[in-house]
């Protein structure tokens, strides 16, 4: 299987993950419980995959990956919180996650691609757009005004994690990565639940069943991305392509399925226009 086939599965799973996360954030008041069950099921799926296919090796790399998985749980919690405010706005800035990964690849792996002036302008436009959204949210309510903080955490943790995934894809089996990553993420979700004093048994059973398909999409997306890198896909090629599909489609889902655009004021339409222009500069030009 060439990396292009794995890329198709990556896009499908990524879109499914965004849609289901938004659907769940709209009905679950306690996001911590959603994260707990998401990573409980993800860890179970990863374990089942390892038992079926073999190839797991417990070493220092597995420990490092598991440790990063703990931070992944925190980033996922903030992603749920940000998505609750708006799937379309949150998804718009997810390419900045991969910008962090690409910059790390340029510096540490010395990959051939360099940031051109238009990409730098695109990044700047994204930050201007986020600033406008932040100002608009602050005028609405304090809960939404935290959105920019959520995005910052997601971008930093997600960027470092994506870069590490590229590093380990050439030295660690995907079975080891999956089991360690989701084992660590599950531990991170337990930490969040204990910290926020939530009871996992308080979640309605019907919502638990909806979380399981989300876990399938989450695990499938990571496995597909890992396989893409494992089969020779370059960070600086794969990630921009992923974001062309993984950004635009969820934006339209947020606008036309969840009707998020009906809540916008004029400033937020301007922010969206600047953000989309910035993403075009980053991903296409």
- Residues 60-104: pLDDT tens digits? 888 988 998 999 999 999 999 888 888 888 887 877 887 788 778
Token reading at 160: 């470092």
pLDDT of 268 = 74
Give the pLDDT band of residue 4 (cuts 50, 70, 90). confident
Q: Could you give the angle at the alpha carbon of 96 between the alpha carbons of 93 and 101, nearest 5°?
A: 155
Helix (H, G, I), strand (E, B) or coil at 104: helix
Give the pLDDT band of residue 3 (cuts 50, 70, 90). confident
pLDDT of 285 = 53
Q: What residue numbers bound the domain in which 142 lies?
A: 3-283
| Highest mean pLDDT: which range of 87-96, 145-154, 181-190, 191-200 | 181-190
pLDDT of 134 = 67
Helix (H, G, I), strand (E, B) or coil at 113: coil
pTM of the model: 0.80
Q: Which alpha helices (DSSP H) does 169-265 contain, by range? A: 174-195, 205-230, 235-256
Residue 132 has pLDDT above 70, yes or no: yes
Residue 143 has pLDDT above 60, yes or no: no
- Residues 221-265: pLDDT tens digits? 888 887 887 777 776 677 677 777 777 778 888 888 877 767 777
Token reading at 154: 């997601």
**How many domains does the chain fold into?**
1
pLDDT of 281 = 77
Task: Classify burial at 48, counting beta carbons within 10 Å of its beta carbon; exposed 0-12, middle 13-18, buried 19 or more.
Answer: exposed
Q: Of 69, 123, 68, 130, nearest to 95 (Cα)?
A: 123
């Amino acid at each position: 299987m060439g990396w292009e086939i794995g890329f198709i599965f990556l896009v499908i799973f990524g879109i499914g993950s965004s849609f289901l996360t938004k659907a769940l954030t709209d009905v679950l008041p306690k996001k911590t419980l959603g994260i707990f069950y998401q990573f409980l099921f993800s860890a179970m799926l990863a374990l089942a995959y390892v038992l079926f296919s073999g190839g797991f090796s417990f070493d220092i790399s597995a420990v490092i990956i598991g440790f990063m998985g703990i931070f992944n749980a925190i980033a996922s919690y903030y992603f749920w919180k940000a998505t609750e405010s708006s799937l379309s706005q949150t998804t718009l800035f997810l390419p900045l996650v991969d910008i962090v990964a690409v910059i790390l690849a340029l510096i540490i792996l010395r990959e051939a691609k360099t940031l051109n002036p238009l990409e730098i302008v695109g990044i700047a436009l994204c930050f201007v757009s986020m600033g406008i959204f932040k100002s608009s949210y602050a005028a609405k309510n304090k809960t939404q005004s935290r959105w920019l903080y959520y995005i910052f955490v997601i971008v930093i943790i997600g960027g470092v994690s994506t870069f590490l995934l590229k590093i380990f894809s050439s030295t660690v089996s995907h079975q080891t990565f999956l089991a360690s990553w989701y084992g660590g993420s599950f531990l991170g979700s337990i930490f969040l639940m204990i910290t926020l004093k939530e009871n996992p048994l308080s979640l309605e059973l019907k919502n638990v069943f909806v979380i399981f398909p989300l876990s399938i999409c989450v695990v499938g997306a990571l496995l597909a991305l890992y396989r893409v890198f494992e089969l020779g896909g370059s960070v600086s090629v794969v990630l921009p392509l992923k974001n062309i599909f993984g950004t635009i489609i969820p934006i339209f889902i947020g606008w036309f399925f969840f009707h998020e655009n009906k809540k916008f004021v004029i400033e937020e339409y301007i922010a969206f226009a600047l953000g989309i222009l910035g993403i075009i500069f980053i991903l296409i030009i």
